[in-house]
Structure formats: structure tokens, C-alpha cells
């Protein structure tokens, strides 16, 4: 359980560090727009870490289910190797699935300047 909490907190910390520095820089520089490349990277990392967090929460739910419903088999079912594999699958899927979404969003033709006048790069400001 503590291993999953550690990885969830690490993922949440990375999730925060993806958004906050660029948002603070934008707010302190009085609305400096985000470049398209920076927006692409920020959106990909944001979606990846969001998917990873959701997957980790599901794995933590399964961990608690096994601990409550199968307490005698818990050490066998949730051994350290299985825990590491579950976390690795969460990170792999979390960073793999947003690739197609980000690719499809940024392959659209854009008219005008290639900057986003927003402090946080999400799908709605990009598609406007």
C-alpha cells in the first residue's frame, strides 16, 4: 500500500510541476502567450500524468480489495514484483494513450499565429 501511495504522490508532484511553472511565468509576464511546441509538450505531459493517476487509483483500489477480501492470499497476490509490474503498466499506459489524442489535436490546420493566449494549455483553448 505504501508503495502505491509513494508512486501516486510522485505522479501528483510531477503533475503539479507540469502546470505551475508555465502558469506563473505567464501570469508574471503579463500574458505572454504559450508557443505551439510548448503547448504540445504541456498537454501531452498533463494528459499522460492524468491517465497515470487514474490508473494508479484503480490499482490502489484493487490492492485494498485483495487485502480485505483475500487477506490470507494477499502476500502471494500482491508481492513486491507484482506491485512494481502494476505500477509500470500504469505509467506505460498513461504515457502511451495520450500520444494519439495530442497528435490528432495538433495535426489540425491552424490559421494565424502559432501561439496560445492562455495560461494553461488544454484542448479547448487549442481548438478555438
How does pLDDT run along the chain (128 residues), one tens digit per residue?
Answer: 789 999 999 999 998 888 888 777 777 777 677 777 778 888 899 899 999 999 999 999 999 999 999 999 999 999 999 999 999 999 999 999 999 888 887 777 766 666 665 656 666 565 55
CATH number, domain at 75? 1.20.1070.10
Q: What is the DSSP string of the chain?
A: -HHHHHHHHHHHHHHHHHHHHHHHHHHHTTSPPEEHHHHHHHHHHHHHHHHHHHHHHHHHHHHHHHHHH-TTTHHHHT-HHHHHHHHHHHHHHHHHTHHHHHHHHHTS---S-SEE-SSS--HHHHH-
Q: Which domain holds residue 56?
A: 2-127
Number of domains in the chain: 1
Taking the model in full, what pTM does it have?
0.81
Amino acid at each position: 500500500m505504501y508503495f502505491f501511495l509513494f508512486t501516486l504522490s510522485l505522479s501528483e508532484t510531477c503533475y503539479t510541476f507540469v502546470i505551475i511553472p508555465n502558469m506563473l511565468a505567464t501570469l508574471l509576464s503579463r500574458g505572454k502567450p504559450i508557443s505551439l511546441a510548448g503547448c504540445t509538450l504541456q498537454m501531452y505531459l498533463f494528459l499522460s500524468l492524468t491517465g497515470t493517476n487514474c490508473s494508479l487509483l484503480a490499482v490502489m483500489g484493487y490492492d485494498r480489495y485483495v487485502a480485505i477480501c483475500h487477506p490470507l492470499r494477499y502476500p502471494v497476490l500482491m508481492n513486491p514484483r507484482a506491485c512494481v509490474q502494476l505500477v509500470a503498466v500504469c505509467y506505460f499506459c498513461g504515457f502511451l494513450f495520450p500520444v494519439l489524442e495530442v497528435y490528432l489535436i495538433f495535426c489540425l490546420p491552424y490559421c494565424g499565429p502559432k501561439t496560445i493566449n492562455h495560461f494553461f494549455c488544454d484542448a479547448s483553448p487549442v481548438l478555438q
